[in-house]
Each structure stands twice: as C-alpha cells, then as structure tokens.
Amino acid sequence: MLLLIDAGNTRVKWACVPIDAPLQFPAPWDAIGSVSHQGFEQLAQSISHHDFVRCKISNVAGAALQQRIEQLVLTQYPDLLIEYFNAADAVPGVQNRYRDPAKLGADRFASAIAAHYSFPGDDVVVATCGTATTIDAITAQGDFLGGMILPGLQLMASALANNTAQLPQIALHADSLDVFATQTDQAIASGCLHAQIGAMQCAVQHLAHRCGKPVKLIISGGAAPYLVPQLRQLQQLQPFHWQDVENLVLTGLWIAAKSS
C-alpha cells in the first residue's frame, strides 16, 4: 500500500492507495482523511490498519511538522520508505516554467500535475482555496506557467472585520448573496467571495487569450464549497467551464509516485 500525505498550513490530509493501482480519475483511494495540526496524533490511529511499503509527502508547513510526521510514521512503520515531493524542472508530462522551479510550492506543483492528468487536452486554471488561495495556469501541452497567491477567505474576512466575520458567517450568506449587499456583514462576505472569484476570472481570461481557446477552471481546497454557489450564479450571467475537484494535491502525489 502507498501512503500519501499532504501537510498544509492548517490540516494534514492523507490517503492510501494500492501500490499497483492503475492511474484513473478519480483516484481509487482505499482510505482517505484529514486531521488538524492540533489533533495530529489522530493520524497514527487512522493509518494503523494498513500495510504500507512506501510513503510520499508534500509539506509546506515547515520543518517542525515534517519532523512530527516522520516520527509518527516511522514509529509505526520503521522500515517504510519515505519520499518527499518537491517542485522540480519537470515530471513526466508537465514542465515547470517557474523562474526558479525549486521555489515553487510543492502543493501547487502537485495540484498542477493532477489537473493536467485529470483533464488531458484542456488548458486549465487551478484555484486551490485554503489558508491562502493559489491560482495557477497549466497549458494543454503540460506547461506550468505560474500563477498568483492571495489571502484565503478566512484571512480576508479577519483583516476586514477584526475576526468577527469568519467562514461560518460567510457560509450563512454564500448561497444567496447579492453582489450589492445591504448589510455590513453581508458586504464583507460579498467582498471576500467576489475578490476570490474575480482573481480566478482574471486568470481564466488571460490564459484563454494566450491559448486562443476556452479554458477550464478547476477549483479545490477547504474553502471551495463557499465559492461554488457564487460560481454557479456567475455561470448564468457568463457561461464558462469550471469544475469542483477534491484532493488535487494527494492526486498529484499519487501521479508523481507512479511516475517515479
């Protein structure tokens, strides 16, 4: 069994998949889950029932968390082969056009790989919505062109309302929010949501102009469910191709593991 770990700034996601499973989408996870940094010890219990021979990890949360992950995994599986995924010049099928490829976040590159393999032949913009929102462009030929990083919904709301407008409040308005809100809390929610969507639209328009054909928007991440209702409303005004896809980083790690 192959163990995949996506260590992000807020949560640690994990999945296990048979080592010889053929590439298919969505991935044939044998088990999948996530834990908070505070509840990290739950990971040991979650994976204890599996027989792993290999582990691939993407970590963007620093050396301390990396050390905790290694200690936890190797305590249960002392002979386990642990490999760390980092952005590189290329993996089979995807070319990294970052000025310094090694400085691209591992999670962003993994998501790009997953999007390219999941939607072959499409030029795609990948928006991953978490603590930060990252929006990246990948051509149908597999060129990772780069992207943008902006504060995530939680950070935006906190900055505007001194921690009083958090994601639960945004969730109250997400399904029926008017762009031109008539209450302050709704106006904050509208601003945060549409700032995110506006950045995605900008990326889609620029990539479509560059490629000369329609572009698909892929949205993923923990905050994606708050943005999906607004994307549906926007699609009624301005039709475009988009899809909500879960676990892009884990999928990209699986592809990278299979490729190596």
Tell whether residue 106 is among the known ligand binding residues: yes
122 is in an annotated binding site: no
What are the structure tokens assigned to 141, written together? 């030929």
Q: Is 221 annotated as a binding residue?
A: no
**Is 216 labelled a binding residue?**
no
Rounded CA-CA distance 135/242 in Å is 13
Active site residue 136: no
Sequence-distant (≥ 6) Cβ neighbours of residue 58 within 8 angstroms? 5, 6, 7, 84, 85, 106, 107, 110, 249, 252, 253
Tell whether residue 232 is among the known ligand binding residues: no
Q: For helices 167-174 and 224-237, what crossing angle results, to 10°?
A: 30
238 alpha-carbon distance from chain centroid: 25
Point out the catalytic residue in the list 107, 122, 123, 136. Answer: 107
CA-to-CA dists, residue 60 to 32, 117, 145, 196, 235, angstroms? 19, 22, 20, 22, 33
- The answer to whether 9 is a known ligand-binding residue is yes
Task: Check whether 35 is labelled as a binding-site residue.
Answer: no
- 11 marked among binding-site residues: yes
Catalytic amino acids? 107
Residues that constitute the known binding site: 6-13, 98, 105-108, 131, 184
Residues that constitute the known binding site for ATP: 6-13, 131
